[in-house]
Structure 1
Amino acid sequence: MRRQDNDIYASAPLRRLRDAQARVLAPELQRCFGTHALLLGVAADEVPPALPMLGNWVRLHLDGDRYAGDLRAAVDQPLPFMADAFDLVLLRHALEVSPVSSALLGDVLRVLAPGGVLALTGVHPVSGWSPWLRWHARGRTLKLQLPLQLERVLRHAGMDIELARRVGRGWPGLPATSTASGNALGGGYVLLARKRRRLATPLRIKPVTLPVPAPGRLSPGTRPNPALQTTGDT
C-alpha cells in the first residue's frame, strides 16, 4: 500500500502542535463573519473551527499532486473558485507540503474577499522542529515558510497583519509541562492577516448646463440662482 505523503502530520508531536495552534487562533477567528469559508490542510480528517457567524465551509486537503475533500482538483491548476468567494481562508500547514506553494498563496489571496481573513499555520523553520520534521519526512521536500517573509509578501499583496506568534513546544520531545500556547521559541507559528477593502473611486461631477425658467414662470418669492448657467437670453 502506498505510504501517504502527509502521514507525519498525524504523528503525536505534530497533533499536539496543531492543537496548540488551533487554541491560539480560536478566539481570533470568533470575530470572523460572512457566508463562506475555505479550510485547506494536510490531513483528510481536518475539522473546521466552530464559528457561530460563519458556518458554510469547503474542506480540502493536499494529497500528493491533487486536492481532495469536498472536491478534487490538480494542485498545479488555480483553485476552482471565483474571485472574492470566501470571507475566511484557513491554511493549516498547507504551504509546507504544496509543490506550488507560491502559486497557492497567490491564488488564496485571489479567492479571499476584501475585508476577509487569512489564517496560516506552520512549522517554524528556525526551531528544533525543523530538523526533526525533515528527518521524519524521509527525503520528501518540505517548504518550511519563514513567518517574517510571509508577512512581507502579504503586506505587499494588500493585507494587514493582525496576529503573528510562535506557539507550541520548542522541541517535539519536551515534556507536557512546556506546552504553553504562546512561546517565543515555539516550534510552530500562527499568522492572521486581513485583506484590505477596495477604496471607492469618487466620480468627477461634470457641470451640466440647465435652463432657467423665465421670471414669470417661477413661484412667488423665488429667485434664480446666479450660479446656474442659462441656455439662452432671459
Structure 2
Amino acid sequence: MKIRLDKMLSHLGYGSRKEVKNLLKKQELLVNGQRVKDGKASIETTSDQVTLAGEVLVYEAFVYYMLHKPKGVISATEDARERTVIDLLRPEDLRAGIFPVGRLDKDTTGFLLLTNDGSLAHDLLSPKKKVPKRYLATVDGLVTSKDQALFAEGFEIDGQEWVKPSQLEILSVDTSRQQSHIALTIVEGKFHQVKRMMKTVGKTVIELHRESMGGLTLDQNLKRGDYRQLTEKELAFLKEKAN
C-alpha cells in the first residue's frame, strides 16, 4: 500500500501535516537508509523501512485495543477537566482518530474497545446488529425470578423508553445485606441503561463491570487501566459477531 510520508506520520500521532513538515526539518527521518525531508514523498508501507530518530515506524491502517477501564476515567477522546480513556494509552500507541467504542460510565469498570476503525465501531453499536454486552453488577435489593421474566420480555424504563429483551442471571443473593450479584446481557447501549433498568424494578446498582462485548471476554490478565492489542483471532471473532 502506497501512502504519503506526511500522512503516515500524522496517522501515527506525530501531529498535523504542517507539524509533520516542521518535524521532518528538525529530526532525521530515513526511508530505506536515505534521509527524506519532503512529506509529500510516497512510500510503500509493506516493504519500505521508515525510521525516525533511530526508531522504526510501522504503519497500521487500524488498531484495536482491549482496555480494562478503571474507575475515575471517562469514555471520551478528550476533556478539559477529566482524565479520559485515551489518556491511558502510551504515546507510541496513540493513533489519529482513535476513540472508545461505546461508553462506560465514569464509575464503571471493564471491557472497552479502543480503535480508529469507524466501520467496525458502527456495526458493534448498531441496535440492528444486536451485539451482546455482558455486565456483572452488585445491586441493592433482592433480584427475583419475576425480575428475570420482565427483563426477558423487554419493558419500559423511566416511563418513556422501551428496552429490548435481555438476559438477567442471578448469581447470588445476600439476604442479610439485602443485596444481589447479577449478570445482565443486553443488546443495546442506551444512556445509563443497566442502572436505569435496575432502578425500574426497585434496585440500585452499587458496582458495575462490563465482562464482555460481542462474545469477546475481557482478558483476566489485564489489570485496571491496562490494555493490549486484539489478536488476529479475537478481531476476526468480533467482526463475525458484528456482521
Decide: shared fold, TM above 0.5. no
Task: Give the TM-score of the pair, scaled to structure 2.
Answer: 0.21
Higher strand fraction (1 or 2): 2
Q: Based on CA coordinates, which of the two structures has the bigger radius of gyration?
A: 1
Higher relative contact order (CA 8 A, sep 6+): 2
Task: Give the TM-score of the pair, scaled to structure 1.
Answer: 0.22
